[in-house]
Amino acid sequence: MTYMLLMVEPTGQRQTRTPAEGRDCYERMVRFGDELKARGQLLAVESLRSHDEAARVEVRNGKTRVVDGPFAEAKEMVGGFFLVDCKTREEALAIAARCPAAEWCTVEVRSLAPCYEESTAPAAVTAAAA
């Protein structure tokens, strides 16, 4: 099964690091990705720029609206992702726990599925994981 591990980080936390600290964090993440690749589990990985350069696009009643970032109401941003192949949800959670980014942000674990498909996880398990 395919899982996406989203790195959800506090906005502005990257600016609290020195350039050397930033490079160290990045290198740790690269090594983590290399380990997943060596085990045949890594399907894709990318780091995202800060949301300062992001834009949101909406189309309502045939009219397109583009809102440029940063988004003042945002307290968190998605900083990147790993797309991994796992046998079980537990395996995906274990990978997320080993991810270096879990030390400075939240790693959200989501399985991929068509948008029309309802979750098959029991409500108690879903609530406990939140």
- CATH number of residue 123's parent domain: 3.30.70.1060
* Number of independent structural domains in the chain: 1
The answer, yes or no, to whether residue 123 has pLDDT greater than 90, is no
User: What mean pLDDT do residues 112-116 have?
Assistant: 89
User: Residue 75 and residue 79: Cα distance in Å, rounded?
Assistant: 13
Quote the domain boundaries for residue 15: 2-129
* H/E stretch holding 18: none
The token duo for 41 is 């589990």
pLDDT of residue 52: 81
The token duo for 87 is 């046998």
The token duo for 64 is 């397109």
pLDDT in tens, 64-106: 999 887 666 778 889 999 999 999 999 999 999 999 999 999 9
pLDDT in tens, 21-63: 999 999 999 999 999 999 999 999 999 988 888 888 999 999 9
Q: How far is CA 4 from the centre of its chain?
A: 7
